[in-house]
Chains A and B, each alone.
Chain A
Amino acid sequence: MSEENDLKFWEFVKPGKFELPAEPASKRAASFFEKLFSGVSDDAGEGGIEAVQSELKNAPRSLIDWLAPYPCWKEATAAIKEALLPWLEDETFEGYSRVLVAPYGSGLGEMLQILADENKWTVLAAPDYSVLRTRNFSWLDALPAKSDKPLIIPRLEAFFLRHYNGLEHLRRLVSKLFHSRQRCIIGCNSWLWHFLDSAMHMRESFNKCYYLQSLSAQDLQSLFCSLETRKSYRPTVFRQADNGSFILPPEMTGKGRLDAAVIKADSSADAFPSAFLKKLAVESRGIPLVAWSIWRNSLRLAPDEDVAELAREVADKDAATSATAKTIWVKAFEDVELPTIPGDTGQTGAFLLLYLLQHDGLKTDAIFDLLSLEKSRLIGLLNRLHKAGIVVNENDVWRASWQGYPAIRRFLAEQDHLQDAM
């Protein structure tokens, strides 16, 4: 597959064209029968696979970093440009701002930052928390002077506080941008966008917005293959631990040096994208970092594998030239352990998780300040959610974990809380 095709999975679409990855009914029925007859299929248990499955060991973090490194958002900037090109090139453009909306865990802020750096466009720096918390609006007087180049706001979340003064800051910013007639590209997380639309009818303030299209199973396959080939030099095959079927097409991860005999009948074009990736696409709602995080969690090694040797060969271009293909085992999707919401999370937990999603992470003090609830209760809750893998703390900023996101979304929906826009 050419590199051009690899990068085609990033796409920004108009809200009406946004689609979630879904398994068609015919495929669901097929998978039901597949499951039903899996016990008598030739693949099952072949070559002692069942024995291998129970003995697989966790792949070390360093190796996972080589096989599934953090996505590079550079390719996605082309999709942004493609969506906005007519507007960027048109002198008599309609409307001064364009909003790009993407779900939590889409890397939208990073995409826009790269786009701004590449084109030397000005990025609007967000004021401090302490400024947004008060009625001091003087930072708005220091906005960059009007220019022909678009002004970039990579993360509108950084300008937002769910606080009575916070809304006024945002209202004034939008008004200022509107009156300045400055072309502006704004990135916004779908949870915040839905809140702002519900609370302030924000959608009406902007002429057009675009949604990052969810990644289908086919897109995830392209993404994981492109990630694998970015840093790893050794031919690798990814096989499902319970039945040995290929998860990613071996011809894409084999670096062109794979023995044809290794590519078995089940690696035919019809078998891809694999059932694992289809399930992953549905569970992750096609969100890149959610899918990526679950993918990393599912990688396993054979028990006799020399981890140090493997890591060296994967990372070393010269050593990998002569190396034979190695198998990375992938847990069956049903066996992947994803975080679940602790039973006693309750209404307070729902508030906390909603605030974390809408702000794209909050510092501990900000949580105490914005959620005027008992501190001891919040601390206990944060600890429980952290232990369950639902939230993570990075540099004193609490945020929802990517792997925990599907469970969080389901929990908030059950509690009737405001959802995201997608």
Chain B
Amino acid sequence: MTDKTNPLFDLTLALADDALVLGHRLSEWSGKAPMLEEDIALSNLGLDLIGQARLFYAYASELEGHSRSEDDLAYFRDAAAYRNLLIVELEIGDFAHTIARQFLYAAFVHPYFQALTKSKDARLAEIAAKAVKEMAYHVRHTSEWMIRLGDGTADSQRRMTDALEELWGYTGEMFEMSVGERALAGEGIAPNRAALQAGWNATVDAVLREATLMRPKDRGMQHGGRKGQHTEQLDHMLAEMQVLARQHPGATW
């Protein structure tokens, strides 16, 4: 079964890839976050995302008749076969960059999962019902840090401003839908991403205001992740994430 013939598989895989790639990025902070509490926090947030990714991969594997396992999908695809959003693959940068990315993404995916709990696809709905409770505190935790850093010292405000400027051009892709996803939305299986833009704007604007940060200007949006057109940062990340599985295929412990 190829990707082109099954929009439900495509969507499930894209949701899995978003969660795994961002989860792996968060795990890169383990042992080196600016303070112990945030080291534990970012690892915990990453663990949530990797747990969500596993549920989506397991379902994707079922949808294509188990021709590839959950692990095959995660460890034996190259970057060009990954369907994640570009925003989740960017390098972690400094703490402000990581928090800003997590906030911008969580502020989208929390309402997305809320909508997905009403999907006519029972499996996606039940995965979303678990994930939505976790993304609620991702939004809360990162909103608090947006405010602390934005309304903090001159240095923390500068770092947060730089992070927002760099990330802003990657936010538009969250609201884009492929032809297949549009068809799923018409059937009540997938949420309409574009319909979530106004709510996301409201969440983001409220936090930026509280954080005394300016909303960056729209200067065109990057896209291509859903078609496998990625930054080279994803190649580097996958090389590290996949090396063990590829050097010892089929290894168990």
A joins B in a complex: no
Contacts from A to B (Cβ < 8 Å): none
Contacts from B to A (Cβ < 8 Å): none
